[in-house]
């Protein structure tokens, strides 16, 4: 069975059951299947077929997801076009696409300026065409572009075989009732998020309903108000939820799978979160390149208190080995970075993915992360590589050297801090430097603080001792 046949079959089994709630609008599973079939006919009518790249620039809507599935039905390479990309990154993402499908939320002058062929989602669609998957297992069916914090967005490419292997991935620990957990999944943010789309598909495969709030979700109150049983949460949002729960009672007893992920969680914070939110909370660890790898539950910690400092046990389908860094093997792993064989070779080795995280498995099988083999800072669940930010800062007027380090932050998980050595007679302008980084790498890459220092501390190896800079904060 070639992806997305499993999803099509799941929608067809109970056509009258809700697939999406979009504000006051309810879209049944049969109606969703109808949308996929009509979008399939529309894309085929536009001349698109196997191997073509199709950009998806839409809001979080049933139509936005349905058109992505329709592209994959035709054997196309679906590519999410994230809103708010810097112009250079946007051109990189759409460079080899045959067309970009847009709705009112995805339409923008910046996108049209790239010269890409635009296919707007109009008020009418062609007649239904039965969606029959045309892709081959080894073909690339989905490319997820990262934030571009390395200077150029990385396209994480998944084969149709890997996409089809995702079904069981989020079933969690043994005995976990995925149907009950995903009865009502909170869908928000963007459909260019790999983790959000993967959880959405887990919900639909389990017979659940994806609930799209009418406005930005107001955590934690949105959860009981919409009877949410499953949702995703970054560490900064977890801090916000705990702030509320420390002062008032919010009934979260209906939660079955509230997954917090994206950046490190301090053990003390995780213990408090398990206590205040309850057994529905779980910590997940994974990467865009792999999908979810481990889960830590309240039950795990109750049975094995030392597990609190871990990111949980690997899922059944995941193999983990330690070789100075953590390597993983899973059927859901990516096929490589789009048009970047050198980078692919540095991360994907004989079927194993190099996570670039340092860690160990304990006697009970829990994975403890102890460091990183890459110079990154994770802010609001987005990975930012320090090197490109440092190079951008060092190109600014009055700057001789620039160093970026990360430190724990209650609101963003981690925060970036820039330390600058001024050029002789120079005086760095922090406002200009902020604008410079934002123009090259996006607003999210701008450090939270800037400080001028006389010189950078040096380690015994002769390299900059970035850890010593943290003492200056």
Task: Give the SS3 label for residue 420.
Answer: strand
* DSSP assignment of 8-54: HHHHHHSTTSEEEEETTEEEEHHHHHHHHHHHHHHHHHTT--TT-EE
From CA 124, how far away is CA 230, in angstroms rounded? 33
Percentage of the residues of the chain whose pLDDT score is greater than 70 = 96
pLDDT in tens, 423-450: 888 899 999 999 999 998 889 999 999 9
Percentage of the residues of the chain whose pLDDT score is greater than 90 = 73
| Model confidence band, residue 239 (pLDDT cutoffs 50, 70, 90) | confident
Task: Give the SS3 label for residue 250.
Answer: coil
pLDDT at 212 over 80: yes
Nearest Cα to Cα of residue 241 among 229, 226, 258: 258
| Model confidence band, residue 257 (pLDDT cutoffs 50, 70, 90) | very high
Residue 43, both tokens: 């894309």
Q: From the CB of residue 205, how many other CB atoms can be counted at a distance below 10 Å?
A: 21
Q: Calculate mean pLDDT across residues 91-116.
A: 94
From CA 335, how far away is CA 8, in angstroms rounded? 24
Task: Return the pLDDT at 461.
Answer: 54
pLDDT at 223 over 90: yes
Tell me the pLDDT of the chain averaged across its residues: 91
Residue 205, both tokens: 């495969």
Task: Return the pLDDT at 48.
Answer: 98
pLDDT at 211 over 60: yes
Residue 85, both tokens: 């990309």
Task: Return the pLDDT at 284.
Answer: 92
Q: From the CB of residue 303, how many other CB atoms can be counted at a distance below 10 Å?
A: 10
Task: Return the pLDDT at 235.
Answer: 81
Q: Calculate mean pLDDT across residues 63-68.
A: 98
Q: How many residues does the chain have?
A: 473
Task: Give the SS3 label for residue 116.
Answer: coil
Least confident of 72-81, 119-128, 336-345: 119-128
Task: Return the pLDDT at 52.
Answer: 98
**Buried/exposed code over 66-90 (b: 16+ C-beta within 10 A; e: otherwise):** bbbbbbbbbbbbbbbbbbebbeebb
pLDDT at 173 over 70: no
Say what angle helices 235-245 and 267-277 make with each other, to 10 degrees. 50
pLDDT at 340 over 90: yes
Beta carbons of 15 and 28 less than 8 angstroms apart:
yes
Q: How many Cα neighbours within 13 Å face the side chain of 124?
A: 2
Q: How many Cα neighbours within 13 Å face the side chain of 55?
A: 29
Looking at the DSSP bridge assignments, the partners of residue 287 are: 291
Q: Which residues contact 430 (CB under 8 A, 6 or more apart)?
A: 450
Residue 471, both tokens: 């003492």
pLDDT in tens, 26-41: 999 999 999 999 999 9
Residue 352, both tokens: 């194993």
Task: Return the pLDDT at 452.
Answer: 94
Task: Return the pLDDT at 462.
Answer: 59
pLDDT in tens, 131-154: 999 999 999 999 999 866 566 789
Strand order in the sheet with 449-453: 399-409, 413-422, 449-453
Q: From the CB of residue 247, how many other CB atoms can be counted at a distance below 10 Å?
A: 7
Q: How many Cα neighbours within 13 Å face the side chain of 200?
A: 25
From CA 283, how far away is CA 262, in angstroms rounded? 10
| Model confidence band, residue 260 (pLDDT cutoffs 50, 70, 90) | very high
Higher pLDDT, 229 or 151: 229
Task: Return the pLDDT at 172.
Answer: 58
pLDDT in tens, 103-112: 999 989 999 9
Beta strand pairing status for 336-337 and 348-349?
Answer: unpaired
Nearest Cα to Cα of residue 120 among 202, 42, 175, 41: 42
pLDDT at 169 over 60: no
Domains, the chain, with CATH or none = 5-164 (3.40.50.12780), 169-374 (3.40.50.12780), 377-472 (3.30.300.30)
Q: Calculate mean pLDDT across residues 322-344.
A: 94
pLDDT in tens, 445-465: 999 999 999 988 876 555 678
Task: Return the pLDDT at 430.
Answer: 96
Task: Return the pLDDT at 209.
Answer: 98
* Distances in whole angstroms, Cα of residue 317 to Cα of each of 66, 167, 230, 313, 362: 28, 11, 21, 11, 19
Beta carbons of 403 and 451 less than 8 angstroms apart:
no
């Amino acid at each position: 069975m070639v992806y997305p046949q499993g999803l099509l079959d799941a929608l067809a089994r109970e056509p009258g059951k809700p697939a999406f709630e979009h504000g006051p609008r309810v879209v049944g599973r049969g109606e969703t299947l109808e949308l996929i079939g009509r979008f399939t006919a529309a894309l085929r009518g536009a001349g698109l077929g196997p191997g073509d790249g199709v950009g998806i620039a839409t809001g979080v809507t049933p139509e936005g997801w349905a058109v992505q599935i329709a592209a994959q039905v035709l054997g196309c390479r679906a590519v999410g076009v994230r809103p708010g990309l810097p112009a250079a990154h946007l051109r990189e993402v759409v460079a080899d696409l045959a067309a970009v499908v847009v709705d009112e939320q995805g339409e923008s002058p910046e996108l049209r300026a790239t010269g890409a062929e635009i296919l707007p989602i109009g008020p009418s669609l062609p007649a239904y065409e039965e969606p029959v998957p045309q892709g081959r297992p080894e073909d690339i069916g989905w490319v997820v572009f990262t934030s571009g914090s390395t200077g150029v967005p990385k396209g994480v490419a998944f084969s149709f075989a890997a996409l089809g292997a995702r079904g069981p991935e989020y079933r969690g620990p043994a005995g976990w009732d995925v149907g009950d957990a995903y009865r009502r999944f909170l869908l928000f943010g963007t459909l260019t998020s790999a983790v959000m789309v993967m959880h959405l598909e887990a919900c639909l495969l389990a017979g659940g309903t994806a609930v799209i709030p009418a406005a930005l979700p107001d955590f934690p109150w949105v959860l009981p108000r919409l009877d949410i049983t499953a949702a995703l949460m970054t560490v900064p949002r977890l801090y916000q939820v705990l702030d509320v729960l420390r002062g008032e009672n919010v009934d979260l007893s209906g939660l079955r799978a509230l997954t917090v992920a994206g950046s490190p969680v301090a053990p003390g914070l995780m213990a408090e979160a398990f206590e205040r939110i309850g057994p529905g909370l779980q910590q997940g660890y994974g990467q865009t390149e792999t999908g979810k790898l481990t889960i830590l539950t309240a039950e795990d910690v109750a049975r094995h208190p030392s597990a609190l400092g871990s990111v949980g046990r690997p899922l059944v389908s995941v193999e983990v080995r330690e070789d100075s860094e953590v390597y993983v093997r899973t059927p859901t792993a990516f096929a490589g970075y789009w048009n970047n064989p050198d980078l692919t070779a540095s991360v994907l080795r004989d079927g194993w993915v190099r996570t670039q995280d340092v860690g160990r498995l304990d006697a009970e099988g829990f994975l403890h992360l102890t460091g990183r083999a890459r110079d990154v800072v994770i802010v609001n669940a987005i990975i930012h590589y320090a090197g490109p930010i440092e190079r951008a800062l060092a190109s600014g007027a009055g700057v001789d050297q620039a160093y970026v380090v990360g430190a724990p932050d209650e609101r963003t998980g981690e925060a970036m801090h820039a330390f600058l050595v001024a050029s002789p007679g120079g005086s760095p302008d922090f406002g200009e430097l902020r604008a410079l980084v934002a123009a090259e790498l996006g607003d999210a890459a701008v450090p939270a603080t800037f400080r001028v220092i006389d010189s950078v501390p040096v380690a015994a190896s002769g390299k900059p001792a970035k850890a010593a800079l943290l003492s200056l904060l």
